[in-house]
Structure 1
Amino acid sequence: MASDKKIVLITGGNTGLGFEIAKALYQSEIPYEIIIGARTVSKGEDAIATLRKEYPQSASSLSVVQADLDSDASLEKAVETISSQYGRLDALVNNAGASFDNLIQEGKMTLRQGFNATWDLNVSGTHVLTSLAVPLLLKSSDPRVLFITSGTSTLSETEHVNLIRLNASPPAGWPKPKAVISATAYRSSKTGLNMLMREWHRILKNDGVKVWAISPGFLATGLAGVGPEKLKQMGALDPSVGGQFVRDVLQGKRDEDAGKVVRSSGIQPW
């Protein structure tokens, strides 16, 4: 069924930054068909119930689709569902991701397992979903694709210890002491995601699809395995800040920066 509302799919939309993106859109005066992609449908339904309770007067609609970035079959079915219900997709927000560095550090995953799992979910799964969604995006009058990256992904800023605390070098000796936040696999995958964004920008440029990587800032989500309160003590911002920034990009406030990694303060260097 065709809809006059902008149709937006947010992967990982049931929690963390994804939930805040859905919330920011749901609060907007602009009406959206917000599709929350979740690995577990019941968790997506819980997120929808929360939003409807908090904002009963929204002009937007909410639905959930099962979307597991580790499963091609799940992603194929998700796109088929959106196609049958709406016939197009106006925006794909590739938000879902994970960090397994803490599991490597704790010995719960081997180094190879952790790196492969991180890349497979954050990059490969995102690439597969984007590929599947392109035909629906090309049916939109204003198609947009957003890749949620990280401030830790920039190569040129790895020399600046004061800018990103993860850039600090540990003491000499081996093995190295356990870090409060370990992110080698995660930030490596996000650097790869930046290149994936550039490829999709190149591939879809002549189709009129606007593509960005979004660097939302240091947010207090559960992604790092540390816990939101600990992250706030380290200076992390409320995730709602990131949600509102993504909403701004979806609503056209950074159109001149398509093809770049964008921060709220400007362009993130490569």
Structure 2
Amino acid sequence: MNESRIALVTGANRGIGRAVADRLAGLGTTVLIGARSPERGVDAAEKIRAAGGTAYAIGLDVTDERSVAAAAGEIGERFGRLDVLVNNAGIAGDPAGQVAGAARLDGIRAVFETNLFGVVAVTEAMLPLLRRSARARIVNVSSGTSSMGWTTDATHYLSRVPGSLGYPVSKAALNMLTVQYAKSLAADGILVNAIAPGACDTDFARGLGVELTRTAEDGAAIVVRLATLGRDCPTGGFFDDDGKVPF
């Protein structure tokens, strides 16, 4: 069995997911690049290996149950276990279809399919592998836009972001999903947390209507911290660089 930590990062071929993969590989973790596009996954893995890390591409569409099952099977065959799962894959959806009074349910459902149900699908499929780890961690990439505390605080910039019925709501649901998994998996020693990466300048975030003041590498820092902390790691929380984020 491979003695290095094994981490799967979904949506890892670009943006925050790629930055997480780079950081984990730099710490000696064997990183599995989950990507819908096989070519982009292979390219990302090759670049990490060229930089001295260990990485492999895993074809993975979080909205496709057969793809998820195949990925879990491949990881089980090749590596025997999983130590870290970073549920990073997400979509913003069409902002125009998430405006009150002009909402398109098909578009909102698509956002939830990836941002919430995709996390359930991947987590459920990977649980048997995570249970084989002596120190398993799950980190769900959420968003500050999901925080009721921040979005209702007149002094916080997120309170001035226009309302949206899809993306922030899906991430708020992800936060509660995180809590429920943390409660359910505590007896297994699997720690589960959500993170707010901040307003990072990535292809994904440019349509969210917020000022982008951070890099993908900045956003990856809290993910990697929670993925690599020892027994003092919390569980069932929502965190950013400065500590707990108000739900």
Query: When the two structures are superposed, what TM-score results if normalisation uses the length of structure 1?
Result: 0.84
User: CA shift at 1:257, angstroms?
Assistant: 2.6
User: CA shift at 1:217, angstroms?
Assistant: 1.3
Q: CA RMSD in A?
A: 2.2
Of all paired residues, the percent bearing the same amino acid is 29
Alignment-derived partner of residue 184 in structure 2? 203
Residues 1:73 and 2:66 aligned together: yes
Q: Distance in 1 between matches of 2:229 and 2:87?
A: 17
Q: Deviations over 1:28-61 (max 9, x none)?
A: 2xx21100000011011111233334x2xx3x41
Alignment-derived partner of residue 117 in structure 2? 124
Alignment-derived partner of residue 235 in structure 2? 258
User: CA shift at 1:104, angstroms?
Assistant: 2.3
Alignment-derived partner of residue 147 in structure 2? 154
Residues 249, 156 of structure 1: alpha-carbon distance in 2 compared, 3 angstrom cutoff: same
Q: Distance in 1 between matches of 2:125 and 2:154?
A: 39
Q: Which moved more, 1:5-14 or 1:182-191?
A: 182-191
Structure 1 or 2, whichever has the larger Rg, is 1
SS in structure 2 of the partner of residue 189 of structure 1: helix
SS in structure 2 of the partner of residue 14 of structure 1: coil
8 Å CA contact 1:248–1:254 kept in 2: the answer is no
Residues 1:111 and 2:104 aligned together: yes
Residues 105, 132 of structure 1: alpha-carbon distance in 2 compared, 3 angstrom cutoff: closer
Residues 1:45 and 2:42 aligned together: yes
Alignment-derived partner of residue 82 in structure 1? 75
Q: Distance in 2 between matches of 1:80 and 1:124?
A: 20
SS in structure 2 of the partner of residue 5 of structure 1: coil
User: CA shift at 1:211, angstroms?
Assistant: 0.7
Q: Distance in 2 between matches of 1:152 and 1:139?
A: 34
Unpaired runs of at least 5, structure 1: 170-178
8 Å CA contact 1:99–1:183 kept in 2: the answer is no
Alignment-derived partner of residue 94 in structure 2? 101
Q: Distance in 2 between matches of 1:254 and 1:136?
A: 19
Q: Deviations over 1:135-193 (max 9, x none)?
A: 1000000011111000111112222243134x238xxxxxxxxx6xx743100000000
SS in structure 1 of the partner of residue 46 of structure 2: helix
SS in structure 1 of the partner of residue 8 of structure 2: strand
The code of the aligned residue for 1:78 comes to A
Query: When the two structures are superposed, what TM-score results if normalisation uses the length of structure 2?
Result: 0.92
8 Å CA contact 2:191–2:234 kept in 1: the answer is no
Residues 236, 61 of structure 1: alpha-carbon distance in 2 compared, 3 angstrom cutoff: same
Alignment-derived partner of residue 22 in structure 2? 23
Aligned pair count reads 245
The code of the aligned residue for 1:190 comes to K
Q: Distance in 1 between matches of 2:217 and 2:4?
A: 23
The code of the aligned residue for 2:160 comes to A
Q: Deviations over 1:110-136 (max 9, x none)?
A: 611111000011000110110111110
Residues 1:214 and 2:213 aligned together: no
User: CA shift at 1:256, angstroms?
Assistant: 4.0
Q: Which moved more, 1:61-70 or 1:246-255?
A: 246-255
Residues 255, 164 of structure 1: alpha-carbon distance in 2 compared, 3 angstrom cutoff: farther
Q: Distance in 2 between matches of 1:158 and 1:105?
A: 17
Q: Distance in 2 between matches of 1:189 and 1:111?
A: 15
